[in-house]
Amino acid sequence: MSVLHQQLTATALNYDKWHDTCAIFAPFAHEPWAMLLDSAGAKHPDSRYDILLRQPNKTFVGNEQSAGQPFAELEQWLAQNPAAILPNEFTDLPFQGGIAGLFGYDLGRTLEAIPEIAKADITIPDIAVGLYLNALVIDHKCRRVVAIHPTGLNLAPEEYWAAPATTITPETNANFRLTTPWQSNMSATEYTQRINLVHEYLRAGDCYQINLAQRFSAEFIGNPWQAYLALRKANQAPFSAWLNIPGGVVLSLSPERFLQTHSDGTVETRPIKGTRPRSTNSEEDKSAADALVKSAKDRAENLMIVDLLRNDLSRVCAAGSVSVPELFKIESFNAVHHLVSTIRGKLAAGHTPLSLLAAAFPGGSITGAPKIRAMQIIEELEPHRRSVYCGSIGYFSLHGHSDTSITIRTLCCTNKNDTEKQIFCWAGGGIVIDSNADAEYQETLDKVAQILPILTNLGATEELIAARANETTGNPNIGTASN
């Protein structure tokens, strides 16, 4: 069997010099296929590693029609590339060369029979992954930085990851600014009407729970990397990511792990179900968290998805290995409190991290239960395909470790035409029989409370600062944001 790369090795770099993830990555952010898997400096147990990737040796791009059997092809990629034999001090690194990228929600159409009703109007493909043999892994817990790279490189890792002499272009130098207000693809009335339709399906016995989402969009000018930096600071989400892939750029501020596997075959998924908004008042904030953990409705909703994911994991895990060590734990993020559970298992012989992804994709926490029927109903009720939303971003290392997120709190930027650019963002929630339509609609707004306003104000704030500077120098006023 052919091997697609020479032997990989690892080189330690000085943490004090190489720990600033965004400063290192910024010069490469607009390079095709540059990816940042970003723990975002969050004070969260899962916020330890940042993984910087560029210049893949091979790429795979596809949509529903052209993807074929993507998981089988990617399995071949991994089989053709033996795991690196690294020095002992580096063998615990989570990524040691391998596959990374986007698995969009609509990739699920290659796995299940879903009708084609919702409009597909986003140019980003359903799958966009690369085989990366150059990576910079920043371990913020142990304060170390390691470059993964092929042996015999012409460039030392310090040179490979150093900023090029010229990185400024008109696009990268332009301030990000929305040029239109955010608009949803459903009015509040239309959203609540669809919740009523969901209730009809629930009463008819089609499902126990259905996830319903709305999509927000706006036009913008300037550099999306600036938007990512502002959102990263505001959200500090442990599964953040920046992907510069064909068709556009993906900005993810996800708090949710989908699937993690270790090289010994152990598996973990941590679905989120249950949400309350944060409060600046500490007593009110604690009361909201207490109310969430005690909510019979939210606990029931969470348990439905736990059961679904137990079933998904059992398809590829050893008999008797699937367990639920933690139910209904409160995790607090900058905008909301979430209710999180943990399911674990161990892969059965003959199964891999990729076959686990195929068995569980898309994640049950963002579809509903039963999954296939919920996806069919979502296709009927949501006006547009979900694209990057509710898919997964992550990596599959050559040594058997993998980690993926659920792409909630995720945006994408695309070109509307030669001069206009669009940015999209989604928010949704699980609807059960006793869901209140108004409360569910408000929950979608709570989930993007640290996203939409941040970007609305980003350009406006920068223009105001510039305008005041111009006033002091006698320059004409450049105007304010038009949103």
Task: State CA 295 to chain mean position distance.
Answer: 27
Catalytic residue among 256, 331, 382, 463: 256
416 is catalytic: no
**At 315, is the secondary structure helix, strand, or coil?**
coil
Tell me whether strands 127-132 and 58-62 are parallel, antiparallel or unpaired: antiparallel
Distances (CA, A) of 280 to 10, 253, 288, 334, 482: 45, 21, 11, 10, 29
- Of 156, 118, 141, nearest in space to 41 by CA: 141
d(CA 105, CA 388): 6
d(CA 150, CA 389): 34
- Return contacts of 33-37, CB within 8 angstroms, 24+ apart: 33/59, 33/130, 33/244, 33/245, 34/242, 34/244, 35/100, 35/101, 35/130, 35/132, 35/241, 35/242, 35/243, 35/244, 36/241, 36/242, 36/243, 37/100, 37/241, 37/393, 37/394, 37/395
Catalytic residue among 64, 273, 331, 421: 273
Cβ-based neighbour number of residue 153 at 10 Å: 15
**At 425, is the secondary structure helix, strand, or coil?**
strand
Distances (CA, A) of 56 to 101, 123, 151, 179, 389: 11, 21, 16, 34, 24
**At 48, is the secondary structure helix, strand, or coil?**
coil
Q: Which residues pair with 342 in a beta bridge?
A: 326
SS3 helix, strand, coil % of the chain, rounded to 5? 30, 30, 40
Distances (CA, A) of 240 to 48, 71, 262, 323, 353: 12, 23, 20, 27, 21
256 is catalytic: yes
- Of 356, 346, 311, 404, nearest in space to 75 by CA: 356
Contact 246, 413 (CB under 8 A): no
Catalytic residue ranges: 256, 273
